Amino acid sequence: MTGRDLAGGPVVELRHASVGYGDRPVVQDVSLLVRRGEVVAIVGPNGSGKTTVVRGVLGLAPVTAGEVLLFDVPAARFKERWRIGYVPQRHTVVGAVPSTVEEVVASGRLARRHWWAPAGEEDRRVVAQAIDVVGLADRHRAPVSTLSGGQQRRVLIARALASEPEVLVMDEPTAGVDAQNSEALTRTLARLVDDGLTLVVVTHDVAPLAPILTRVVAVADGRVVGDEPADVAMSARSALGVHVYGHPGHDPHHSAAGQDGGPDDPVRSPGSGWLGDPGLRGSRSTT
């Protein structure tokens, strides 16, 4: 596999793209180029449109103006969907009918298979490997309803990995996950990035991902308002905090003013920094 130092080819590109529903664009005139090997965090308060940006990329929300390119191909004509792994923001993966970890993860492999083709040996091997990578090998036959929230999140990551993607698009992978599990997740992602995976992560909190991030893109009010290398973004020099929240840089002492972001708001400790400041996140939902 190619390492991250061989970064280069375009993976995901938006050119003056507007994404929205009906006549209401949620994000406007977004231009963004993610290259192979990059680890990009898309940050911003709730309601900023950061989730809508990736929904536009994935074809889950209509692109009303501009262009989205996947691996240099216009998104509408892009057929090799398995090259993009998607980890939605979900707290659970439990359907109404019981299903095992293996069954859910295997559904991620279908993008690689023809309609009527049964699963082959290679398919089963990759599915088992994806489950192993997220540390659930000993639970592969377990019904997903018996797993904890953090484990279910890992099932969704394994499902995305089962198509052997070149880029992983994750929506809030650390929301509601405790510090210990966040670190474990970051270690897993670091290994995948070392193997050449490109990462695009929508998050309101870059701190857990800091060790692997290469770039931070800030979105506010439906526009890209900042785009900095990770080391700059996480230093006191960063302009992102000003753009997004009206005050500069990382401020671990900024207190949470007792506000609540709504029912989906993850439980967080107060004052975890500007990108995770619960007091400054909006009340609109991004989904």
Site residues, another protein (CB under 8 A): 58-60, 79, 81-82, 84, 86, 88, 91-93, 95-100, 103-104, 106-108, 110-111, 113, 115-116, 119, 138-139, 141-143, 145-153, 159, 163, 176-178, 181, 266-267
**Nearest residue (CB) to another protein, 94 versus 242:** 94
CB of 233 to another protein, least distance (A): 26
**Nearest residue (CB) to another protein, 58 versus 202:** 58
CA dihedral 122, 128, 131, 134 (to 10 degrees): -80
Q: Are 7 and 167 contacting, i.e. CB atoms less than 8 angstroms apart? A: no
How far is Cα of residue 212 from the mean position of the Cα atoms in its chain?
A: 14
CB of 229 to another protein, least distance (A): 29
Residues recorded for the chain: 287
**Nearest residue (CB) to another protein, 5 versus 267:** 267
CB of 31 to another protein, least distance (A): 22
CB of 39 to another protein, least distance (A): 20
CB of 236 to another protein, least distance (A): 29
Who's near 121: CB < 8 A, 6+ residues apart?
Answer: none
Amino acid residing at 273: G
Instruction: Give the pairing of strands 167-171 and 63-70.
Output: unpaired
Cα distance between residue 285 and residue 115, in whole Å: 36
Give the CA distances from residue 138 to residues 134, 142, 167, 189, in Å, rounded to whole numbers and listed in that order.
Answer: 11, 9, 27, 20
Q: Residue 272 in 3-state DSSP?
A: coil
CB of 150 to another protein, least distance (A): 6
**Nearest residue (CB) to another protein, 1 versus 267:** 267
**Nearest residue (CB) to another protein, 148 versus 283:** 148
CB of 12 to another protein, least distance (A): 13
| Burial (Cβ within 10 Å: 0-12, 13-18, ≥19) of residue 276 | buried
CB of 232 to another protein, least distance (A): 30
**Nearest residue (CB) to another protein, 72 versus 178:** 178
Beta-sheet strands, E only, within 186-270: 198-203, 215-220, 223-229
Cα distance between residue 42 and residue 195, in whole Å: 22
Beta-sheet strands, E only, within the chain: 10-21, 24-35, 39-43, 63-70, 73-74, 84-87, 167-171, 198-203, 215-220, 223-229
**Nearest residue (CB) to another protein, 92 versus 259:** 92
